[in-house]
Amino acid sequence: MKLTPWKTLAAGVLLILLANAVALTGVYLNRNGEAESRLMLSQRELPLPLGWRMTKENSGLALGLVWRVADASGGDSYVGFGFSGGTPEWLDEAKMAAFGFDTSLLAEGKEGRRRFERALPREVLLVLELAGPAWQQTLERARQNAARHDAARLANADSKEFADRAKRAQEQLKREEAHNSRLFAIDIGLDRAALRAKYPDRGRYMILRSTLRPRLVTHEKKTRVSGYLNAIAVTQINVPYALRPALEPALRQNQRTPNDPGLPFEATIAVGQRLEPWLEAVSLQR
């Protein structure tokens, strides 16, 4: 059957309406009832997009949710902290086996290890903790790292190399104290009710969907079984037009860099029944 221009237009309009209806239904189901969690984040966890004012089309504004992993590859040094993905220190062989990954393949040698790491990723529920013990431990590691490099600088007063290392360590510490995200991945599971019972504070712990794939980590010539947490299902949080004016002064800043997220602000993020976050409120901190 040959479609006339009018029928083609009508089909296109109908498709758009159906897509919008599906999206709005999803939003309703997610936000229906009490929020699953509600956290007060800042520009540290929700950095404003760099260069937003320079884009030709900037009618839409979204904030990226930055979370972190205390990475197993880092050992006792400060460097092993992945942003928005990584290999957690707490993810071991027993936990990977519990999520259905066949760890018995490792007994088959090199080919078995290859098959293990090539297994398909699995969807999991990820627990993110705000400004808790995981972040405090990271902050303490940064302080110890800075102190260690400063001591080495003093013991090697004529060395530019040691001076540069000490300077970088101090810069890392400053970023950790004032700029880096305080939101850390601390656990995963498949049962939301069980995870919420384990982490009942809905103002500190949010549960989001993520993916997990197997990973073998080698550190100091020792290999252990772990897993890699990929990006969460929802990586961008849209800023409603009504909340945009509160962020305008921060958006007008031209000197923002990845190490300086700009004017401080607080933002209330709610997570709904479908474990999808949205922005409820935002205010600049003068």
Is the predicted pLDDT of residue 102 greater than 60, yes or no? yes
3 state DSSP class of 19: helix
Cα 87 from chain centre: 13
Is the predicted pLDDT of residue 41 greater than 60, yes or no? yes
Q: Kindly give the interhelix angle for 133-155 and 160-178, rounded to the nearest 10 degrees.
A: 160
* pLDDT value, residue 22: 45
Residue 241 lies in a domain: no
Looking at the chain, the whole-number percentage of residues with pLDDT higher than 70 is 77
Q: Confidence class of residue 76 from pLDDT cuts 50, 70 and 90? A: very low
Residue 36 lies in a domain: no
Choose among 243, 263, 245: nearest CA to 253.
263
pLDDT tens-place string over residues 144-160: 999 999 999 999 988 99
> How many domains are contained in the chain?
1
240-273 b/e (C-beta count within 10 Å ≥ 16 → b): eeebeebbeebbeeeebeeeebbbebebebbbbe
Residue 79 lies in a domain: yes
Contact 43, 262 (CB under 8 A): yes
Residue 142 lies in a domain: no
Contact 82, 69 (CB under 8 A): yes
Residue 4 or residue 104, greater confidence: 104
Residue 242 lies in a domain: no
**DSSP annotation of 107:** G
Residue 55 lies in a domain: no
- For 241, the token pair is 């037009």
3 state DSSP class of 157: coil
pLDDT tens-place string over residues 105-138: 887 888 888 898 898 999 999 999 999 999 999 9
Residue 165 lies in a domain: no
Residue 173 lies in a domain: no
For 116, the domain range is 67-132+182-233
